């Protein structure tokens, strides 16, 4: 097990950001616009810094995966030693997908594509659909898929992920739609007035079906011992990207409701702040106005979410004393900070810089809830693309996500 030290990459990224800033500082000091060469050099420095950030995040996700694998191997080794030392009787497996013969058949089907023996077909019978071909992934495969989705999606990292629901169609959460009126001063023997404003409602999360297919070469599946891992990572990636896109701009109709979607069921237009912003870019005053629109009770857990194009613009903004708003992180695992709050980047956040468009959001993302259903299915179609010597893998799951408390968020909107 080897971990990648990202310290050097972080230091190099910091140097690139300093280079970009020095170019701006020089032009500011000389009270002139950037020359063509300076614009090119600054753009290259920011692009290289962005690429290094992506490398850092990739290596850190790999380090996390290595830790999980090491923990799993250590746990399995200890279990094996306990079984050998104490000569424990092997427990009876009651579910078909826990049986060793099922796991063996699954691995053979996933990695070789060879025809199964009658015994292996019987082992898979409990996981076969009425039309044939549906295979329920062994339990370890499903668990790895869920963990990979969590690693690849920032919304699952910063939001509140609720326990999976089983046996119900939806998850309901009570909502306080109207608070009680203020208490009233009265005399010692006075009769208090009855409150008539307190009201409750309900917010429902209904897991929606999500599916995606991947086409994989039969040659690759037969020649590499990492075939199952390759398929798992690709399934995780496409599911994660679909969820991330919906978490940003989803409509809420048959999919997640996005934080950048104005909705009475999520973040309303009352949470939009455009004061002080230009029509093509956020400004120092506009970002300050957004922060102070958020109640201070949410500040300790508040985070910014934006596209890297927006972060590039903000990285050039200075306050009245010539200090940059964005604070670059040089510590492994810590994000850059803006006005005291961490900045999270999403490739699916809006990045259209025209009048009245959303470009960033600040909020306590524990008020964005995500719920999954229990079932994750994997389907392998061996004949659909047989003429092209390929197999088709299809994943199915169901999940829902939505903001449940509008006041916990404030959106940055460009001016008109």
* Range in 216-220, 361-365, 387-391 with the lowest mean pLDDT: 216-220
pLDDT at 74 over 90: no
Instruction: Classify strands 341-345 and 337-338 as parallel, antiparallel or unpaired.
Output: antiparallel
Helices first, then strands: H and E counts in the chain? 10, 15
Host H or E run for residue 53: helix 36-86
Domain that holds residue 74: 7-86
Joined tokens for residue 189 = 């023997």
Task: Give residue-wise pLDDT tens across range 139-151.
Answer: 555 555 565 655 5
Q: What pLDDT, on a 0 to 100 scale, did the predictor assign at position 199?
A: 64
Q: Are 23 and 41 in contact (CB under 8 A)?
A: yes
Q: Are 296 and 286 in contact (CB under 8 A)?
A: no
- Do residues 406 and 316 both lie within one domain? yes
- Do residues 290 and 168 both lie within one domain? yes
Q: Are 400 and 207 in contact (CB under 8 A)?
A: yes
Mean pLDDT, rounded, for 358-379: 88
2 in any annotated domain: no
Q: Are 262 and 392 in contact (CB under 8 A)?
A: no
- Do residues 302 and 228 both lie within one domain? yes
- C-alpha gyration radius of the chain: 27
Q: Does residue 236 or residue 415 have the better pLDDT?
A: 415
Tally the domains of the chain. Answer: 3
92 in any annotated domain: no
- Do residues 30 and 62 both lie within one domain? yes
184 in any annotated domain: no
Task: Give residue-wise pLDDT tens across range 18-59.
Answer: 888 888 888 888 888 889 888 888 888 888 888 888 888 888
- Do residues 106 and 246 both lie within one domain? no
Q: Which residues contact 35 (CB under 8 A, 6 or more apart)?
A: none
pLDDT at 110 over 80: no
Q: What pLDDT, on a 0 to 100 scale, did the predictor assign at position 167?
A: 64
- Do residues 217 and 304 both lie within one domain? yes
Task: Give residue-wise pLDDT tens across range 300-326.
Answer: 999 999 999 999 999 999 888 888 999
Q: Does residue 277 or residue 84 have the better pLDDT?
A: 277
Q: How confident is the model at residue 278 (pLDDT cuts 50, 70, 90)?
A: very high
Closest CA to 339 of 317, 359, 358, 357: 317
The neighbour count for residue 250, using CB atoms within 10 Å, is 26
pLDDT at 130 over 50: no
165 in any annotated domain: yes
- Do residues 129 and 237 both lie within one domain? no
The per-residue pLDDT of the chain, averaged, comes to: 80
Joined tokens for residue 300 = 């300790």
Joined tokens for residue 2 = 């080897």
Return d(Cα 393, Cα 232) in angstroms, integer: 10
Q: Are 113 and 382 in contact (CB under 8 A)?
A: yes
- Do residues 381 and 253 both lie within one domain? yes
177 in any annotated domain: no
3-state secondary structure of 237: helix
- Do residues 325 and 211 both lie within one domain? yes
- Do residues 125 and 223 both lie within one domain? no
Q: Are 303 and 158 in contact (CB under 8 A)?
A: yes
- Do residues 128 and 150 both lie within one domain? no
């Amino acid at each position: 097990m080897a971990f990648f030290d990202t310290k050097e990459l972080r230091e190099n990224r910091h140097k690139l950001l300093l280079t970009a800033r020095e170019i701006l500082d020089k032009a500011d000091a000389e009270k002139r616009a950037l020359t063509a060469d300076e614009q090119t050099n600054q753009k290259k420095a920011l692009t290289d810094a962005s690429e290094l950030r992506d490398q850092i995040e990739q290596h850190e996700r790999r380090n996390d995966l290595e830790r999980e694998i090491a923990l799993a191997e250590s746990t399995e080794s200890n279990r094996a030693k306990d079984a050998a030392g104490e000569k424990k009787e092997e427990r009876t497996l009651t579910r078909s997908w826990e049986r060793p013969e099922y796991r063996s058949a699954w691995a053979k089907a996933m990695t070789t594509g060879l025809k199964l023996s009658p015994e292996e077909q019987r082992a898979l019978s409990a996981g076969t659909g009425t039309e044939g071909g549906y295979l329920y992934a062994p339990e370890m495969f499903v668990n790895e898929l869920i963990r990979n989705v969590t690693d690849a999606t920032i919304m699952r990292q910063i939001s509140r992920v609720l326990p999976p629901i089983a046996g119900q169609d939806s998850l309901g959460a009570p909502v306080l739609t109207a608070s009680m009126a203020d208490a009233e001063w009265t005399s010692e023997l006075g009769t208090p007035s009855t409150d008539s404003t307190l009201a409750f409602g309900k917010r429902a999360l209904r897991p929606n079906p999500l599916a995606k297919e991947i086409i994989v070469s039969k040659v690759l599946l037969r020649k590499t011992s990492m075939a199952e891992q390759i398929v798992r990572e690709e399934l995780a990636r496409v599911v994660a990207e679909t969820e991330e896109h919906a978490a940003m701009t989803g409509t809420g109709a048959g999919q997640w409701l996005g934080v950048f979607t104005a909705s009475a069921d999520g973040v309303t237009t009352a949470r939009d702040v455009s004061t002080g912003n230009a029509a093509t870019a956020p400004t120092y005053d506009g970002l300050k106005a957004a922060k102070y629109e958020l109640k201070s009770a949410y500040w300790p857990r508040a985070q910014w979410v934006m596209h890297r194009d927006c972060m590039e613009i903000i990285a050039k903004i200075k306050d009245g004393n010539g200090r940059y708003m964005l604070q670059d992180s040089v510590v492994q695992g810590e994000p850059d900070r803006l006005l005291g709050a961490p900045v999270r980047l999403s490739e699916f956040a809006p990045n259209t810089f025209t009048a009245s468009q959303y470009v960033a959001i600040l909020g306590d993302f524990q008020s964005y809830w995500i719920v999954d259903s229990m079932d994750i299915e994997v389907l392998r179609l061996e004949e659909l693309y047989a003429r092209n010597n390929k197999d088709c893998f299809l994943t199915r799951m169901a999940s829902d996500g939505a903001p449940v408390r509008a006041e916990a968020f404030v959106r940055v909107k460009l001016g008109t």
